[in-house]
């Protein structure tokens, strides 16, 4: 009955604002609990960000998924000491951070907790091929999109698919796409935050998820 009243008396925009507020409050509670849990960790650490249900043995697996080791809000400071991490890895999570804003804080925190010579490895949806195929009027470059298990049925035209890549949304705040990247742009973000030796790398089956093999830009960089 309450749900029916809310739907009939409040606009969609107000309902959405209330939903987001409730989710943020729940996320804050989970984040605080995870921060307390993280105090017991000892380095050197390997950190897997945005792990979902795909936990890596020997890593600190971080996600909002309840199966993760720590349910942290990565828009906030990481609960690890300075220079306590050897490796930080995140696949299809960096694009969920706003730029300007959360992106800079996140990279600053990664730089802080990594040891000198430590690696930050990120995988993001690669915007460049989709934009090139769209500009050239090619549909072939989008065929891989339709084969993905996560591809929505409503994304029919080439621009539908570009919109999804740039603006993907879900019921959770954490899986909304906030920014699109090519190698030039991702490199600039990393260098601006003090990282060096930025390099594009190939898909690594020992590290990356097979479902992300196509359409992902993988990039490694180091803390000097």
Residues of the domain holding 216: 2-222
Lowest mean pLDDT: which of 106-115, 170-179, 181-190, 191-200? 170-179
Q: What is the mean pLDDT of residues 158-172?
A: 73
* Cα–Cα distance measured from residue 64 to residue 49, given in angstroms and rounded to the nearest whole number: 10
Tokens of 76: 């906030």
pLDDT interval class at 201 (50, 70, 90) = very high
* Cα–Cα distance measured from residue 209 to residue 219, given in angstroms and rounded to the nearest whole number: 15
In the chain, how many domains are there?
1
Considering only residues 165 and 183, tell me which one the structure prediction assigns the higher pLDDT: 183
Looking at the chain, how many residues does it have?
Answer: 224
Query: Which CATH number covers residue 189?
Result: 3.40.50
- Round the average pLDDT of the chain to a whole number and report it: 85
Full DSSP string of 47-94: EEET-TT-PPTTSEEESSSTTSSB---TTS--SS-TT-EEEEEEES-G
In this predicted structure, the answer to whether residue 171 has a pLDDT above a threshold of 60 is no
* Cα–Cα distance measured from residue 123 to residue 5, given in angstroms and rounded to the nearest whole number: 43
Q: What is the mean pLDDT of residues 2-16?
A: 66
Q: Tell me what pLDDT residue 172 has.
A: 46
Tokens of 14: 């107000």
Rounded percentage of the chain residues whose pLDDT exceeds 70: 86
In this predicted structure, the answer to whether residue 173 has a pLDDT above a threshold of 50 is no
Stated pTM of the model: 0.86
* Nearest Cα residue to 91 out of 59, 52, 65, 118: 52
Q: Tens digit of pLDDT for each residue in 22-76?
A: 777 777 777 687 778 888 888 799 999 988 888 999 999 999 888 899 999 889 9
Residue 78: CB atoms within 10 A of its CB come to 23
């Amino acid at each position: 009955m309450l749900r029916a009243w809310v739907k009939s008396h409040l606009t969609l925009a107000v309902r959405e604002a209330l939903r987001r507020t409730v989710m943020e409050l729940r996320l804050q509670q989970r984040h605080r609990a995870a921060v307390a849990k993280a105090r017991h960790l000892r380095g050197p650490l390997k950190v897997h960000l945005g792990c979902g249900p795909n936990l890596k043995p020997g890593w600190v697996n971080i996600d909002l998924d309840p199966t993760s080791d720590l349910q942290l809000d990565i828009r906030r400071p990481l609960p690890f000491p300075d220079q306590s991490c050897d490796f930080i890895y995140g696949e299809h999570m960096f694009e969920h951070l706003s730029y300007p804003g959360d992106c800079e804080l996140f990279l600053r925190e990664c730089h802080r907790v990594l040891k000198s010579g430590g690696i930050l490895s990120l995988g993001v949806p690669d915007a460049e091929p989709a934009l090139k195929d769209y500009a050239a009027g090619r549909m072939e470059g989008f065929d891989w999109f339709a084969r993905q298990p996560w591809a929505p049925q409503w994304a029919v035209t080439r621009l539908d698919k570009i919109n999804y890549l740039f603006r993907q949304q879900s019921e959770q705040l954490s899986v909304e796409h906030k920014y699109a990247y090519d190698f030039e742009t991702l490199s600039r973000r990393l260098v601006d935050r003090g990282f060096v030796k930025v390099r594009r790398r190939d898909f690594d089956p020992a590290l990356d998820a097979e479902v992300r093999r196509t359409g992902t830009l993988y990039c490694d960089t180091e803390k000097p």
